[in-house]
């Protein structure tokens, strides 16, 4: 079973429309739709925005649906000039940019008593996602790198520059690290995919509404092809 999470309805509604839905379950204010997508068993869910919602959603997928893989699809703000709006970032690893327990000797971003600073994505899923982008989205660039998450919409250049210089991230969003974190502690392979909707700077609030639909459309094409090959 492949668990597919999007934070917002807009990020999953086209995937749901392409499914053959076999059952639906509601839990924790989320609707889980299980069925077939491109011949594969999937369950698709809108988690809600933010790290807490995403973490709860991931654990339900593990416990109730016995997910073998977790894929998170959505949109994000670019942290690097070479990563343009509509490009896609494939997670190499993922971390929390808003965790600070340096006072106890941990690295900035590391959750206390965790065995890692950044959660490593599944190498096979990364490879399949790269191949899928080449096949179904040849007009855009795919980038493999670090995705960073926090409960903040980044929309000013100073914050963007600080996050990029500190963590060397490729893009920033609000759910991926929690999904990766929960997948990691449950030993479930995961992948975070992000289509770029804005530049995470002073133009972000203007870019986001204009490019959101394009970014989501790219994500849906990628998910369909990726699922078919898992």
Residues labelled catalytic = 11, 198
Q: Contact at 8 Å (CB) between 75 and 86?
A: no
How far apart are the C-alpha atoms of 99 and 110, rounded to whole Å? Answer: 6
Six token digits for residue 218: 């790219």
Which of 143, 145, 216, 150 shows the shortest CA–CA distance to 177? 150
Q: Contact at 8 Å (CB) between 6 and 24?
A: no
Could you give the dihedral angle defined by the CA atoms of residues 52, 205, 170 and 165, in that order, rounded to the nearest 10 degrees? -100
Handedness of CA 117, 70, 92, 90 (dihedral sign): negative
Which of 78, 83, 8 shows the shortest CA–CA distance to 47? 8
């Amino acid at each position: 079973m492949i668990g597919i999470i999007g934070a917002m309805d807009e990020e999953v509604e086209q995937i749901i429309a392409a499914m053959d839905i076999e059952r639906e379950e509601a839990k924790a204010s989320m609707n889980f739709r299980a069925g077939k997508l491109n011949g594969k068993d999937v369950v698709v869910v809108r988690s809600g925005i933010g790290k807490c919602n995403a973490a709860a959603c991931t654990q339900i997928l593990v416990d109730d649906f016995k997910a073998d893989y977790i894929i998170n699809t959505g949109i994000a703000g670019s942290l690097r000039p070479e990563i343009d709006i509509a490009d896609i970032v494939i997670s190499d690893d993922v971390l929390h940019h808003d965790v600070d327990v340096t006072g106890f000797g941990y690295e900035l971003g590391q959750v206390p008593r965790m065995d890692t600073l950044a959660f490593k994505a599944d190498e096979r899923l990364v490879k399949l996602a790269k191949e899928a982008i080449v096949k179904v989205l040849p007009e855009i660039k795919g980038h493999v790198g670090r995705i960073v998450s926090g409960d903040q919409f980044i929309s000013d250049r100073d914050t963007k520059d600080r996050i990029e210089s500190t963590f060397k991230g490729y893009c920033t969003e609000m759910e991926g690290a929690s999904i990766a974190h929960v997948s990691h502690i449950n030993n479930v392979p995961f992948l975070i995919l992000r289509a770029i909707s804005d530049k995470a700077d002073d133009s972000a609030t203007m870019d986001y509404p204009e490019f959101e639909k394009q970014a989501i459309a790219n994500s849906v094409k990628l998910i369909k092809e990726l699922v078919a090959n898992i």
